[in-house]
Amino acid sequence: MDQKQEKREKEETEQLKSSEQTSSTAEILTSVFDEIESRSNGTSVAGIPVNFYDFDAMTQGLQRGSLNVIAGRPAMGKTSLCLNIAKNVAQIHDLPVCLFGLEMSKECYTYRLLSMEVGIETGRLRTGRLQQDEWSILGKGIETIGKLPIFINDKAAITVEEIRATCERIKKEQGNGELGLVVIDYVQLMDGQRYMECRDAELGRIVSDLKNMATQLNVPLLLMSQLSRDIEHRENKRPMLCDLRETQSLESDADMVVMIYREEYYHPETCDRGITELITCKHRNGPLGTVKLLFEPQFTRFRNLAA
């Protein structure tokens, strides 16, 4: 088969696929009504709840196939929040979670998971300075975390192709053949070796490919991002959409962008000590707004404010 014929057959196959994906509104409305009815009856939800009640009420959970960005300045708690969400999804829904940590080792992430589970500071866990009654608590925590379907990859400068291959393997190996969440910490550390020389354009292509990956794997993707240090020169340091660092494609490609902010970081004597704001400043499928969580940094743990 010559190259021209092969190219022509490939184009015809793509056209056929495109044609098969076209549906009339009557066909679509039938499935839409079924979704509305099942959600009204409480037999299904729009997305995957993460067990932060106010956040779930606003977002209806993390939508499958969506690209969700959690952004903030250093020390705001981005990694801790994502670990909490990953743990909740794995624990409550018994769904596999793939965590790609480009910033820390897999042991560091595991120490944090253990700390939030047992309520013992990470520093004391690392040094083994535990009281006698804490050893049994640690044992139960290790057993609990060990049963969670959380898979951690700490390869530095990983590519989208490597992330996709890992997710597809884990999805295939798990019993139900379904992923609950993919977490990447964080996008500015990713490798785009096959892309263009300009880093901004390179990151733009990476984000676009990650969005396609989330859609094809039918899984919500949680992507960490740093924010521009220009925030530090403003009087009001609550982040905005324009503060996303290095790539504008995060603004355009993301289905949801959530900024994380702690007033206590800038004003230690504030009356909002321990409070973290999650500011949803882009939401393709729902409202914008701010919800608050209680942050316990010693345990890298977030809690709902209301019991």
Q: pLDDT per residue over 98-115, tens digit each?
A: 999 998 999 999 999 999
Count, in order, helices (H) and strands (E) of the chain. 11, 9
Q: How does DSSP classify residue 257? A: E
Contact (Cβ atoms closer than 8 angstroms) between residue 175 and residue 95: no
pLDDT band at residue 132 using 50, 70 and 90 as cut-offs: very high
Spatial separation of the C-alpha atoms in residues 290 and 106, rounded to whole Å? 31
186-to-36, 79, 81, 163, 269 alpha-carbon distances in Å: 35, 9, 13, 13, 31
List strands edge to edge, sheet with 181-185: 150-153, 97-101, 181-185, 221-226, 67-72, 256-261, 275-283, 289-296, 301-304
Q: pLDDT per residue over 169-228, tens digit each?
A: 999 998 678 999 999 998 888 876 654 567 778 888 889 999 999 999 999 999 999 898
> Mean pLDDT score of the chain, rounded to an integer?
87
- More confident: 64 or 18: 64
Give the list of residues 6+ apart from residue 261 with CB closer than 8 angstroms, or none: 72, 76, 237, 238, 239, 276, 277, 279
In this prediction, residue 31 carries a pLDDT of: 63
Domain limits of the chain? 47-304
pTM of the model: 0.85
Q: pLDDT per residue over 239-265, tens digit each?
A: 999 888 666 778 889 999 999 999 999
- Supply 21's token pair: 């994906």
Has residue 58 got a pLDDT over 80? yes
Beta bridge partners, 257, equal 69, 282
What is the CATH T-level fold of the domain 47-304, as seen in this structure?
Rossmann fold (3.40.50)
In this prediction, residue 108 carries a pLDDT of: 94
Spatial separation of the C-alpha atoms in residues 188 and 69, rounded to whole Å? 12
Give the list of residues 6+ apart from residue 264 with CB closer than 8 angstroms, or none: 270, 272, 273, 274, 275
The pLDDT of 285-307, averaged and rounded, is 91
